[in-house]
A and B are shown apart, each in its own frame.
Chain A
Amino acid sequence: MPISRTTFLRSTLLLMLIGIGALVAVVATTIWLVSHTQDYFDSVVTLRKSRAALVELRSQLQDAETGQRGYLLTLDEAYLAPFLRAKEAVPAQFALVEQRLAGRDASQLAKLKPVIATKMGELEETINLARAGQRDKALDMVRTDLGKTAMDEARGILAQIIEGTDQLLNDRVEEQNRSAAALWWVVVVAGIVILAVTLLGGLTISAYMRELAAARREVEDLNMGLEGRVRERTQELARANEEIQRFAYIVTHDLRAPLVNIMGFTSELEASLAPVKAYISHLDPPPIDPAFREAKQAADEDLPEALGFIRSSTRKMDGLINAILKLSREGRRVLKPETIDLRNLAEHASRTVTHQVAEADGAFDLDIKVGPIVSDRLALEQIVGNLLDNAVKYRRKDVPLHIAVRARRGDRARVVVDIEDNGRGIAAQDHERVFELFRRSGAQDQAGEGIGLAHVRTLVRNIGGEISLTSELGKGTTFSIVLPQDMRTVVGSIAA
């Protein structure tokens, strides 16, 4: 299935967007997890600190109890040190616990506070009794289990809070694990998506590239075929052209043979007529037979007149045949490409008409704006010479003759040569006709057979150019010749 350009662009764009989406998901999840981890870490630190504070509070209470028990046993003040330290530290520790828990388990703490107060109060009291020497009374007080109950209660409450804290810690760890797992999944899925997108994109691109390469190959093949076809057609054209020229050549020669007879026997007839005429005119006296008058008129007038027409017609036909022969021979001539300076050539051609231009009170302008070209010198000389001859021949007698030869650069490595005159011009309907063989335009007041321009066109085409004209009747004519800068580039391919 061929991939169109838009489909290709759309699908690659879509794949790229999907890939970018997956990447964004990974990055966003990672950022979220990092901040979440930060939170987790903070809360874990807080929980650990509160746990430590709770444990410390419990051990302080135990220290206080331990100090009381030691003193009651020994009545040695030295054993009282833990109690004294704890008594000092417990309120601060409790405040710390309150602060660390930051409102959590507030009810438990509220319950704990009086229990601790009771316990500390019982301890203080027993110690005070012992100090006052009433150890038995103090021991009795211990035996009331008041302190033990308070202590057990405090222990229970603290254990509960610690357990709660531990539970919270566990929950947090659990939560963190879940987030990490989620991130893992996101990364894995996104990785798969990116991989898939990359693969798909690669496949699409390679398919598209293969198609491009195939299309290019096809175009190249077509090009080759086209070149071959052009070459083939060109050869066919060259062959056809050659055939036409050969045809013209053979026809003109075959036409010549009967013409030789007509002219020859016309002369023979004339030669035979001479003695007849002489005989008739020398008859003395002339016979009075009416047949003789007719014979004399035939010999003197009718026969010479008929012979005269035959002669002038054959002469004309000979001229026409020669013209066709000249054209066909021009086509058969082998062209010699050489470097030609157009200014030089035009100056040279103008010299042949200088005399006539001067006679017509005329002027000749030369404006060559191009460098040398490669062409056939003889053909170019004949082209320019013919056109200049025409300009002189068909001038208007009432105005000074003005001829201009201009050359300028055309497009596509071509040179345009304009030959302009202010002569009698050519009527619009004759613009194409004048280039045809034996066709002439305007008043037939000049000798000619209608060959010149046909010959010029053949010459121009032979050297790979084209000729056209612009003209206004009574104003003048401009012939424009478009020539290749290097005729080898054009004519070579035709002759091949």
Chain B
Amino acid sequence: MSTEAISVGIVMIEDDEGHARLIERNIRRAGVNNPITPFTNGTEALAYLLGPNGSGEVSAGRHLLILLDLNLPDMTGIEILEKVKSNPHTRRTPVVVLTTTDDSREIQRCYDLGANVYITKPVNYESFAHAIRQLGLFFSVMQVPETA
């Protein structure tokens, strides 16, 4: 499996458009030019990831990386995480939880469900921008498996 030929798509599930914009900018600043597909609610995001029938077959053969916020208007990010990680087609997709919540139980729960990275959004913008850029650097070097 080679990385150059296959473009890894970043799926960003974030209800706050401002946050989405700031995240996108900072990822771009880190030199990551992969396509970013933004979603502002869980229903649409799940429809994209698992298909309208929820089977997940639409994701077969995709190279995806999910950026997930936990506070969404229609469902919690935990639900999305659960569905993605229990679906045979998407379970290998790396999920980065990026949220304001820093409750330790919430963090544990996310890792238990199979989250790959958990990052708390720093309120201070310099730290925020720095963290996102680090994440972008991380994306540029990480290997993303093809979904089954």
Contact = CB atoms under 8 A, between A and B. Distances in A.
Interface of A: 249, 253-254, 256-261, 263-268, 318, 321
A265 B21 CA distance: 10
Contacts of A321: 123
Nearest to A322: B123
Contact of A261 (B22, B71, B101, B124): B22
A18 B33 CA distance: 114
A263 B101 contact: no
B110 to A, nearest CB: 15
15 contacts: A256-B100, A257-B100, A258-B18, A260-B16, A260-B18, A260-B22, A260-B100, A261-B18, A264-B18, A264-B125, A265-B18, A267-B125, A318-B123, A318-B124, A321-B123
Interface residues of B, number: 16
B4 interface: no
Which residue of B19, B22, B101, B125 has the most chain A CB atoms within 10 A of its CB atom? B125
B74 interface: no
Contact of B125 (A249, A256, A257, A266): A266
| A contact face: mostly helix, strand, loop, or mixed | helix
A35 to B, nearest CB: 102
A47 to B, nearest CB: 118
A490 B142 CA distance: 53
Contacts of A267: 125-126, 129
Given A253-B101, A260-B22, 16 more contacts: A253-B71, A254-B71, A257-B19, A257-B100, A258-B18, A260-B18, A260-B19, A260-B125, A260-B128, A261-B19, A261-B22, A263-B123, A264-B125, A264-B129, A265-B22, A267-B126
A195 B54 CA distance: 94
B25 interface: yes
Contacts of A263: 123-125, 128
B121 interface: yes
A-B pairs, 8 with minimum CB distance: A261-B18, A263-B125, A264-B22, A267-B125, A264-B125, A256-B100, A318-B123, A253-B100
A264 B23 CA distance: 10
Contacts of A318: 123-124
Interface of B: 16, 18-19, 22, 25, 71, 100-101, 103, 121, 123-126, 128-129
A268 B25 CA distance: 10
A253 B22 CA distance: 18
Contacts of B71: 253-254, 257
A265 to B, nearest CB: 7
B101 A260 contact: no
Contacts of B101: 253
Contacts of B22: 260-261, 264-265, 268
Contacts of A256: 100, 121, 123
Contacts of A258: 16, 18
B47 to A, nearest CB: 24
Nearest to B123: A318
Contacts of B25: 268
A261 B100 contact: no
A8 to B, nearest CB: 64
A258 B100 CA distance: 11
Nearest to A253: B100
A260 B121 contact: yes
Contacts of A249: 103
Nearest to A259: B123
Which residue of A253, A256, A259, A260 has the most chain B CB atoms within 10 A of its CB atom? A260
A344 B72 CA distance: 48
Contacts of A254: 71
Contacts of B18: 258, 260-261, 264-265
A440 B100 CA distance: 29
Nearest to B26: A264
A263 B19 CA distance: 11
Nearest to A270: B125
A321 B71 CA distance: 18
Which residue of A249, A261, A266, A321 has the most chain B CB atoms within 10 A of its CB atom? A261
Nearest to B18: A261
A263 B121 CA distance: 12
Contacts of B129: 264, 267
B124 A257 contact: no
B129 to A, nearest CB: 7
A318 B125 CA distance: 11
A260 B125 CA distance: 7
Which residue of B25, B100, B101, B121 has the most chain A CB atoms within 10 A of its CB atom? B100
Nearest to B99: A253
A259 B121 CA distance: 11
A441 B14 CA distance: 43
A257 B126 contact: no
A322 to B, nearest CB: 8
Contacts of A268: 22, 25
A260 B22 CA distance: 9
Contacts of B121: 256, 260
A261 B123 contact: no
A283 B129 CA distance: 32
Which residue of A254, A257, A267 has the most chain B CB atoms within 10 A of its CB atom? A257
A472 B22 CA distance: 52
A402 B121 CA distance: 44
A180 to B, nearest CB: 101
Nearest to B22: A264
B73 to A, nearest CB: 12
B16 A257 contact: yes
A321 B102 CA distance: 14
B1 to A, nearest CB: 36
